[in-house]
Amino acid sequence: MDGEVLRRLLADVHAGTVDVEEAVRRLRHLPFEKIASATIDHHRAIRCGFPEVVYAEGKTAEQVTAIVGRLAAAGGNVLVTRAAAGQFDAVQASQPSAVYHRAARAITIRQTPIQLSAGTIAIVSAGTSDEPVAEEACVTAEIMDQRVECIYDVGVAGIHRLLAHHEMLQTVNVCVVVAGMEGALASVVGGLVACPVIAVPTSVGYGASFGGVAALLAMLNSCSSGVTVVNIDNGFAAGYTASLINRLAERRDA
């Protein structure tokens, strides 16, 4: 149950449209709920601003479906990362509103009205092969109600493609930069903007890229001061962190 759902429930009790016993029934599983395959943290949204996210890789379709079902029953939005098509089919059978984002390998269920952020997150990727990771960041930010601008295939081998977006990049609150190979794009973007840059190394590249380690080390050694780095291929963490930064920026400007 997220914070907005809890507020609505308390308001309904105050207004007399929901009786106390019904409210107790809805709150019974707070702060967590134990099911056969997981212990679900229903207080996560209240503490952190978004419900617990399901990492599907390594779980059976039945396990994912059971966890998603309990999260959805709490009334908040649901995000599942690293989900296979078969897992989505199982989820959709019981949650018809579920959407599969094939490129991102993510499942979303939206149950709350969109309250789009005033500030914007830019998601910038170096090459087409980096797009699945960039899309994971995008889907994550969007289900968290963030305004997102995606700029894809603007790697340093054709730097003019990135510079064409220079003016827009000056207007955003945070940039997510996704790149494999030598990972240089994050440093370039970091030298162009006055906002935080979250760099995401990808496992894209030939043998000497070592499955993303070369890009990871390059980003960690960036000469641009505003660059911070998440793990290899971890678009989810970048999108989530960018959303938190964007929210803080909006509080500052309020």
State which H helix or E strand residue 11 sits in: helix 3-15
Give strand pairing partners of 175. 122, 197
Residue percentage of the chain with pLDDT more than 70: 94
Task: Give residue-wise pLDDT tens across range 80-97.
Answer: 999 999 999 999 999 999
What is the model's pTM?
0.86
How far apart are alpha carbons 199 and 186 in whole angstroms? 6
Task: Give residue-wise pLDDT tens across range 219-246.
Answer: 999 999 999 999 999 999 999 999 999 9
Q: Which CATH number fits domain 120-253: 3.40.50.1370, 3.40.50.700, 3.40.50.1970, 3.40.1440.10?
A: 3.40.50.1970
Task: Give residue-wise pLDDT tens across range 165-207.
Answer: 999 999 999 999 999 999 999 999 999 999 999 999 999 999 9
State the virtual CA torsion across 28, 33, 35, 37 in degrees, nearest 10.
Answer: 170
- Structure tokens given for 127: 């090459």
1 has pLDDT over 60:
no
Buried b / exposed e over 59-84, threshold 16 CB at 10 Å, is bebebbbbbbebbbebbbbbbbbbbb
DSSP 8-state symbol, 17? S
What pLDDT does 122 receive? 98
Domain ranges of the chain: 3-109, 120-253
